[in-house]
């Protein structure tokens, strides 16, 4: 199986601040997904990174994949209360399973 460790586990930031969430894999990364989840609710797809060095942005959220480090980072610029939630990284496998990270809980204080 593949383990995905996210850091930090939780984050509290003031509105307007930038922040970074990391996802480190126990195995080689061939691609990685980022999801957001409001507490107790469904998963919202944010973006998928497929190649090493790939960087994608959506609104104020930027994600990057570093294959050599087996790591991906998610960066939020000028955070807003609407960014609050749990951020999950995830990877597919050659089999059928999809593995999720341990999650990072983000609180944005207005």
Partner 1 sequence: EPEVTQTPSHQVTQMGQEVILRCVPISNHLYFYWYRQILGQKVEFLVSFYNNEISEKSEIFDDQFSVERPDGSNFTLKIRSTKLEDSAMYFCASSAFQGRSYEQYFGPGTRLTVT
Point out which residues bind partner 1 (CB under 8 A).
Answer: 30-31, 33, 35, 40-43, 45, 48, 50, 88, 90-103
Residue 31 or 52: the one with the smaller Cβ distance to partner 1 is 31
Residue number, 18 or 28, with CB nearest to partner 1: 28
Are 104 and 46 within 8 A, CB to CB?
no
Residue in the block written with tokens 């997904």: 33
Smallest distance from partner 1 to CB 98, Å: 5
**Residue 18 or 50 having the CB closest to partner 1:** 50
Grouping H, G, I as helix, E, B as strand and the rest as coil, residue 66 is strand
């Amino acid at each position: 199986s593949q383990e995905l460790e996210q850091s930090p586990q939780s984050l509290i930031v003031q509105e307007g601040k930038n922040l970074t969430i990391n996802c480190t894999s126990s195995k080689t990364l061939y691609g990685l997904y980022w999801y957001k989840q409001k507490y107790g609710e469904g998963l919202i797809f944010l973006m998928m990174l497929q190649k090493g060095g790939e960087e994608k942005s959506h609104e104020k959220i930027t994600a990057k994949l570093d294959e050599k480090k087996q790591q991906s980072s998610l960066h939020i610029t000028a955070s807003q209360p609407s960014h609050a939630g749990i951020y999950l990284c995830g990877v597919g496998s050659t089999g059928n399973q999809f593995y999720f990270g341990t999650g990072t809980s983000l609180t944005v204080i207005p």
